[in-house]
Chains A and B, each alone.
Chain A
Amino acid sequence: MNGIYILWLRQLKRFTRKKMAIAGALGQPIIFLVVIGFGLNPIYAKAGAGNYIQFLAPGIVVMSVLFTSIFTGLEIIWDKQFGFLKETLVAPVPRWQILMGKVLGGASVAMIQGTLVFLITLLAGYRPEHLSSLPVAFIFLFLVAMMSSAMGATISARLDDMQGFPLIFNFLVQPLFFLSGAIFPLSNLPPVLNFLTKINPLSYGVDGLRGSLGGVTQFGLATDFWVLTIVSAIILGIGSYLFSKIQV
């Protein structure tokens, strides 16, 4: 367990030292919130669906957690390139613990980033309906963070350099986000979109967070919870296997 702890601590230290990166990563959610949020708000209201910021804010929080987690997971590729991963791999620590430390570290870092974004949505006018369910909301946020961080780490087990990065960004991260119900409601969609959003595990994260903060839930919080938990466990299982096979 020492291994998990020290890998987690390393991730946190690296994160908190990069103040510029933290501030920089707030840019994208702010743009989404301000431009898309306030831009589409009038038309959303006209359609009789209420306040768009109220709908969008949880989606934006999930977005920042998704991006931060996946990228922290992908940092393992840098560790490979800069040689540090070897130092970890020759240590007398089971590989699944190395993965777990990394994933927990990435998830914790993403939770901090997500919390900052949550505070910004409050500034932008977002009002959760019941603050008492904030702990439940954080559980969902944590599950999203674990799942995405595990995804990033698992992918990087098989990549040796950042050449695959645009591929991952455009064909995994972006679709996960845009097809998650973060920016539009998942009801009454065309069949193809409906199918894609249903098989996207992140949809259940957005739904869980939105639902627990008082918005409308599409799938029900219990379903959201189990989908996220099971998918995270599966990815962690695959990741542990791939980590045990890493040869450098």
Chain B
Amino acid sequence: MQENIIETRNLVKKYGKFTAVDGISFSVKKGEIFAFLGPNGAGKTTTIKMLTTLAVPTSGQIKINSFNPASQQNQVRESFGIVFQDPSLDNELTAYENMQFHAVLYGLKKELYKKRIMDLLDLVKLADRKNHFVKNFSGGMKRRLEIARGLLHLPKILFLDEPTIGLDPQTRNHIWAYIKSLNKKEQVTIFFTTHHMEEVERMADRVAIIDNGKIIIVGTIEEILLKTGSKKLEDAFIYLTGGNIREEEANIGLNQMRINNKLTR
């Protein structure tokens, strides 16, 4: 039995009267590729925010790499890298400068980060663009840079919140190939969300489906298909979460920002 690198127990997050996450408990094993699925507004991003110290849970416990985000924030923050759902690069800086900013912020030494940045830029095929301003990058290039940045400080866990949103199939394939090889080579645990079920079928060791703030099922893809009597994960997903289209009930302003960001990516 491998040890758990992410553990949550009865995790709850309320925004006023609205309960975004409603008492979820799950764990992710070290080295695993874990897919966290759910319709829009189900609580995926809120959960990731709590796991990554960006939001404080209303109640419940979290362990990340055996650290507690409530009391050991910095240890938790050093343990993971993250690619946010929305872009999070500084467009006025170059690709290299964005990486350097991250490296210094995470306390890496210059002799170490210079080489590591170039290796990672190589990996995501942006080495020849290192001195270009990020504002001139395409959506796919920005995504690749964000992934490289998330890996810079050698994290144990990589969170990917809809990393392939708005990307063409070529770029999507590339990105998942990098991620898979990273998982194999560096034993990085991958925790990701997506709406593309074929990505999950190709990538994930285990899957959790969340809806209305509650986890409805956790297991391997085979287990989920078996339990729901479906042939494809997409069918199982719709069977479990229903056919209705969801409205996201988050803060309207922030939500509009998210939509705008997606459109202008």
- Partner-B contacts on A (CB < 8 A): 2-3, 5-6, 10, 13-14, 17, 81-84, 86-94, 160-161, 247-248
Determine which of A2, A81, A84, A161 lies in contact with B90 in the assembled complex, contact meaning CB atoms within 8 Å. A84
On whether the beta carbons of B87 and A82 are closer than 8 Å, the reply is yes
In the assembled complex, which residues on chain A have CB atoms less than 8 Å from the CB atom of B53?
A: 89-90
Q: How many Å lie between the Cα of A93 and that of B101 in the bound state?
A: 13
Interface residues on B, range: 35 or more
On whether the beta carbons of A2 and B104 are closer than 8 Å, the reply is yes
Q: Is B254 an interface residue (CB 8 A)?
A: yes
Determine which of B86, B105, B253 lies in contact with A161 in the assembled complex, contact meaning CB atoms within 8 Å. B253
On whether the beta carbons of A89 and B104 are closer than 8 Å, the reply is no
If A6-B101, A88-B105 are given as contacts, then 18 extra A-B residue pairs at C-beta distance below 8 Å, sorted by A number, are: A5-B104, A10-B101, A13-B92, A82-B88, A83-B87, A84-B89, A86-B84, A87-B89, A90-B53, A90-B80, A91-B102, A160-B251, A160-B253, A160-B254, A161-B257, A247-B54, A247-B55, A247-B56
- Which B-chain residue is minimally distant from A248 (CB atoms)? B54
Q: How many Å lie between the Cα of A84 and that of B77 in the bound state?
A: 16
In the assembled complex, which residues on chain A have CB atoms less than 8 Å from the CB atom of B80?
A: 90
On whether the beta carbons of B105 and A2 are closer than 8 Å, the reply is yes
Contact pattern, B 80-99, Cβ under 8 Å of A = 1, otherwise 0: 10101011111111000100
The 8 closest A-B pairs by CB, nearest first: A83-B88, A6-B104, A92-B77, A92-B74, A91-B105, A83-B86, A87-B88, A247-B55
Q: Is B106 an interface residue (CB 8 A)?
A: yes
On whether the beta carbons of A92 and B107 are closer than 8 Å, the reply is yes
On whether the beta carbons of B102 and A87 are closer than 8 Å, the reply is yes
In the assembled complex, which residues on chain B have CB atoms less than 8 Å from the CB atom of A94?
A: 74
In the assembled complex, which residues on chain B have CB atoms less than 8 Å from the CB atom of A17?
A: 92
- Which A-chain residue is minimally distant from B53 (CB atoms)? A90
- Partner-A contacts on B (CB < 8 A): 49, 52-56, 73-75, 77-78, 80, 82, 84, 86-93, 97, 100-102, 104-107, 149, 251, 253-254, 257, 261
Determine which of B73, B90, B257 lies in contact with A10 in the assembled complex, contact meaning CB atoms within 8 Å. B90
On whether the beta carbons of A91 and B77 are closer than 8 Å, the reply is yes
On whether the beta carbons of B105 and A93 are closer than 8 Å, the reply is yes
In the assembled complex, which residues on chain B have CB atoms less than 8 Å from the CB atom of A82?
A: 87-88, 90-91, 261
- Which A-chain residue is minimally distant from B79 (CB atoms)? A92
Asked if A6 meets B105 with Cβ closer than 8 Å, knowing A13-B97, A91-B77, A247-B55, the reply is: yes
Q: How many Å lie between the Cα of A126 and that of B101 in the bound state?
A: 41
On whether the beta carbons of B106 and A81 are closer than 8 Å, the reply is no
In the assembled complex, which residues on chain B have CB atoms less than 8 Å from the CB atom of A13?
A: 92-93, 97
On whether the beta carbons of B93 and A248 are closer than 8 Å, the reply is no
Q: How many Å lie between the Cα of A248 and that of B49 in the bound state?
A: 8
Q: How many Å lie between the Cα of A5 and that of B56 in the bound state?
A: 28
Q: How many Å lie between the Cα of A91 and that of B102 in the bound state?
A: 8
On whether the beta carbons of A91 and B86 are closer than 8 Å, the reply is no
- Which A-chain residue is minimally distant from B97 (CB atoms)? A13
Return A109 CB to nearest CB of chain B, in Å: 13
- Which A-chain residue is minimally distant from B108 (CB atoms)? A2
Return A113 CB to nearest CB of chain B, in Å: 18
Q: How many Å lie between the Cα of A90 and that of B56 in the bound state?
A: 13
Return B138 CB to nearest CB of chain A, in Å: 17
